[in-house]
């Protein structure tokens, strides 16, 4: 399962790590309280972070599909 690395990074089961600015995560988390939001990184094998209810809930991996975020480090 995917991991949220405090404060603003996410690691997929495939080993890819997506890093974002803390303010970006705060803003998209706030927007996700109203409706589901997606935040994509700019890497070659683009991973997308799915936010819902004010928090990150999944990583969308191009190789493994949707991986739920189950741990926070």
Q: What is the pLDDT of residues 2-44, one digit of tens each?
A: 899 988 999 999 999 999 999 999 999 999 999 999 999 988 8
Q: Is 16 in contact with 9 (CB distance < 8 Å)?
A: no
Does the pTM exceed 0.85? yes
DSSP state of 49: E
Give the torsion sign (CA, 12, 40, 30, 21).
Answer: positive
Residue 48 makes CB contacts below 8 A (sequence gap 6+) with 38, 39, 40, 41, 59, 60
- How sure is the predictor about 73, in pLDDT bands with cuts at 50, 70 and 90? confident
Both structure tokens of 32 = 């996700």
Higher pLDDT, 70 or 73: 70
- What is the number of structural domains in the chain? 1
What's the domain range around 19?
A: 2-72
């Amino acid at each position: 399962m995917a991991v949220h690395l405090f404060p603003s990074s996410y690691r997929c089961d495939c080993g890819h790590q997506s890093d974002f600015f803390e303010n970006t995560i705060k803003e998209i988390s706030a927007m996700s309280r109203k409706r589901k939001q997606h935040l994509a990184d700019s890497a070659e094998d683009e991973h997308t972070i799915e936010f819902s209810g004010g928090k990150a809930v999944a990583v969308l991996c191009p190789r493994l599909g949707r991986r739920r975020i189950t741990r926070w480090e």
